[in-house]
Structure 1
Amino acid sequence: MTELTGGSALPQERRVVTAIPGPKSLELQARRTATVAGGVGSVLPVFTTRAGGGVIEDVDGNSLIDFGSGIAVTSVGASAEAVVRRASAQLANFTHTCFMVTPYEGYVEVCERLAELTPGDHAKKSALFNSGAEAVENAVKIARAYTKRQAVVVFDHGYHGRTNLTMALTAKNMPYKHGFGPFAPEVYRVPVAYGYRWPTGPENCGPEAAAQAIDQITKQVGAENVAAIIIEPVLGEGGFIEPAKGFLPAIVKFANDNGIVFVADEIQSGFCRTGQWFACEDEGVVPDLITTAKGIAGGMPLAAVTGRAEIMDSAHAGGLGGTYGGNPVACAAALGAIETMRELDLNAKAKRIEEVMKARLAVMQEKFPVIGDIRGRGAMIAIELVKDPETKAPAPEAAGALAKACHAEGLLVLTCGTYGNVLRFLPPLVIGEDLLNEGLDIIEAALGRL
């Protein structure tokens, strides 16, 4: 099984020919250390030469199984034919004019696709940006312009970015916020429905967490002061937490009843990642605004805020934008990514990945009590590791050791979670089932050695 990567076939196989990282990667790492700021980290310092389908090839000739997708970015593969074809054609025509100077059709076409694909049948408009953090920050600007209010409500375990405002919105201190304050004001954090760790059990979590969150907003902030409520329909960096059933609809109803703009942050969970175009569709949630990035453009930098036309139009002319926002090459790539998602039915592929992974992980959980919880949807699956299944004490050391063991065998995995004890799996949606199962074999063997 091969994928065309810019005209050359990239074999879809794991191949480990040196230690990982190998000697050439170590040489490049020395050069990097001399010139790249130390604050920029890497999960695994192997230097990539080619990637596509379900593999990443490094400078030493190793081919790694990819369970990361560049943090949910290369859902269509890292060299999808339609993305490469469309972006290359646009690159040959022009690289940039700035949409705010002279516009171009690609930007408009991406906004048309977003209006079609995002939940709800109301009139929608979009604005395009470069990164997820930019999209979230602009969603706040738009909500404040529309409501004439200032307060923003976010949730425990939430992650929304690394700019000053989005650091304030993000829950986790290290490494995202530590030492970087002071942060933007008028941001308020309330509980989320984290079923696995809810004191009265997952079956009570949804309604109880919603009641707590609404009570705190009402008493501590005042609903009439809130411009926006922002939540990830599946919380990403916080540990792939699926809010317990009933939680999101209750929060949406509260927002609607009080004139608050409800913002779904679908930056990690959007574009077929959970087996639906957007994760909020799972409980029929229709957001007022939806932020997207990551999987939108097959690896090119692009982000969007899409929402109700009357809300999107509340910002004054010239109030939204940016020099590179909606770059023409990135727009072409996005159209190629959406074409690929539709043609290959990547929602169905994501559901099949969930089926395979959850079945295999459930067997592992029976054998290895370190796996406290298996959760997620589609190709956004995680295991939470604990020292003791009864106390649920987090085991971040085990998560780190497991990731390291997988890396050594040629499987790229990522960790996450407020407690650093979650292994998250984000394979490209085009990964072959043989590679998927081989990756799961490596995880099972590593758990056995732990």
Structure 2
Amino acid sequence: MNVLVLGSGGREHALAWAIAKSPRLDSLFVAPGNGGTATIAKNVPLDMNDADAVIGFARSENIDLVVVGPEAPLVAGVADAIRAAGIAVFGPGAQGARLEGSKSFSKEFMLAHGLPTARYKKCTSQDEAMDYLHEVGAPIVVKADGLAAGKGVVVAGDMEEAEEAVRDCFAGDFGEAGSVVVIEEMLEGPECSMLAFLSEGKALAMPCAQDHKRAFDGDLGPNTGGMGVYSPVPCVTPELEAAMQEIMQNAAAATAKEFDDAYTGVLYGGFMLTAEGPKLLEFNARFGDPETQVIMPRLESDALEAFYMVATGKLDALDLRWTDQVAVCVVLASDGYPGSYEKGKVILGIEEAEELDGVTVFHAGTAFNQDDELVTNGGRVLNVVALADTFEDARELAYEACDKINFEGKQYRHDIALRALEA
């Protein structure tokens, strides 16, 4: 099979890496890709949001399957166009992608179909949002309604922080994404993610993962796209996992009722494990980033076969196998992230890190400069993943690998998966 992966981050490198291991693979392309995907596939300078360009390339290279990584092309309807062109595509259409593209739509979907979630209010003006804040008080959660690259959510501990978050949204900090604001009650408990393959109104859940959103150790600092992650999640008991799986199955069934075209691809459920049971914080319409970087290394089945069977409506025939080993991912970021940062810093030591047994380094924000040196090209630069029998061994291995990699301004958290080790 010839496969095209759309995207340029660590998630797409992990997806391409998993696909590249398949004996069914002939040719692999990534558009636009990064410094890591260039080592296992052919990077293509395509605009992944331009459906006509993607379809034209797919036809010219006889592509059998397109795997859409990021949310933006999904929300833009790129998967719809590819599917209409008769090419198999892994990724939901624009209707299904609204579950991520609009937080208010997602909340309405949850409530309409009896999926447990937090109470909320959709606000279309700053005055309306401020009035509601003063009505309900803090702590409270303020969310930009649209796509904000994982940074449009503020968990406000007091009214001052909540008001500032509202002002930032309506001031345009998140562009059009902040023109509508969702304010919801703050749920309490550990967070975790459950991703599931969806096709024809049915779901097949993957192992749970737990992300670290805050920039600094001790869960301090601003929210980021994710500074590290691990899988499985020790605090998720078999009973909790079964409850989450039931919610994802119900969500899958709801997509079949709600949308004109079957939701095909991955649905990401962000959960809070409350005293009353698991409740949904959000849906994403694609693989998580960095969750994918710990889920793919734990997949023992043929990833390409899995993606193709989901894309062609054969989910019922899919039998996935997962390793019992644990995976820990530490994100190496540029100095200043998630704020402003510099690019073009030379990266050294990745080969030495990957010589450690069980370590894989997925590239996120990397590129090659004019001297063919690998350099930083984003806020989150590398995902250092370690697979081992225990969390203690996986953490030790991941951080040993981090120490071998160097670039100017390298920053990372030192407490990734510590809560798993303590659990």
Instruction: Give the TM-score normalised by the residue count of structure 2.
Output: 0.30
Higher helix residue share: 1
Higher strand residue share: 2
Instruction: Give the TM-score normalised by the residue count of structure 1.
Output: 0.29
